[in-house]
Amino acid sequence: MSAAIRSEFRKFFTTRMWWGMAIAMFVAGAGLAVAFGFLLTTKGATGGGPGGGAPTGNPVQVANSVYTGYLSIGYLLTLVIGVMQIGSEYRHKTITSTFLGTPRRGRVMGAKVVALLGIGALYGLLSLVGSVVAGAIVLNARGADAFPGTEILRSLALSLLVLGLWALIGLGAGILIPNQVAALLISVGVAWILEPIAGVLLGLWQFGREHIVPYLPTQATNAIVSGVTQTGANAVKPLSWWVAALVLAAYAVVLAGFGSWRTARSDIS
């Protein structure tokens, strides 16, 4: 198993994509932290308002949103990595040699799962370095408390888990849609465009707002890090952080698990 895991890491880190992604994650972490830092410390930005609809949160939630703002882009990047980790094997016809080198397909898929969790955590650490340093500077400069509570450490740690889980969701999508280009377009399109639109439309319906929207993957992602929330008549009440973590983990387990099961039993030629 250790040899299979090393092989999966080697497949990823011997390409030029990994350091390009690393730079993008670091820059996104720092840039979004600065943007959220200025936005959420503007007078009245997190205090609601007569008309409702404004973000609201205490100092801990503001800091959480600043430091984990990179997730708004980071989860898409790790989703892409998950798709490519298996999609590139189908595209370049290396999946056959992979299974010949390690005849136990379950071991191969298990190694991919472990590698993707590690890759997601690594990119999360790179993003956190940029976001925490830049975000703390902005918060201090704006007169806000950069570290108002220990709950921030929990949110930072959970953000690493979030990226790993989204990578597993991408792995499942890449298996279920063997064409790599189609898998990338469909998975990113659903996560970035279709799901947010569906969330807005379902949010107009009381049952959907209370019982469906909070369980969507991106909504669960936001709830895990306990950031600022929206107010107003159509605002969605977020799940508790641990419930949201279980929900996102369930998406990852179902997609990656079913995809791995299908790969272990399908004909590869």
Q: What is the DSSP string of 254-265?
A: HHHHHHHHHHHH
**SS3 for 240?**
coil
> What does the pLDDT average to over 37-60?
68
Give kind and range of the element (H or E) at residue 66: helix 59-67
Question: Which residues are bridge partners to 229 per DSSP?
Answer: 56
Contact 171, 255 (CB under 8 A): yes
The structure's pTM equals 0.90
pLDDT cut 70: percent of the chain above it: 93
153 is written with which tokens?
């450490």
Residues 6+ apart with CB under 8 A from 62: 40, 41, 46, 139, 144, 228
Give residue-wise pLDDT tens across range 104-146: 889 999 999 999 999 999 999 999 999 999 999 999 999 999 9
**Alpha carbon separation from 61 to 34, 35, 56, 259 (Å, rounded):** 16, 16, 9, 36
> What does the pLDDT average to over 145-165?
93
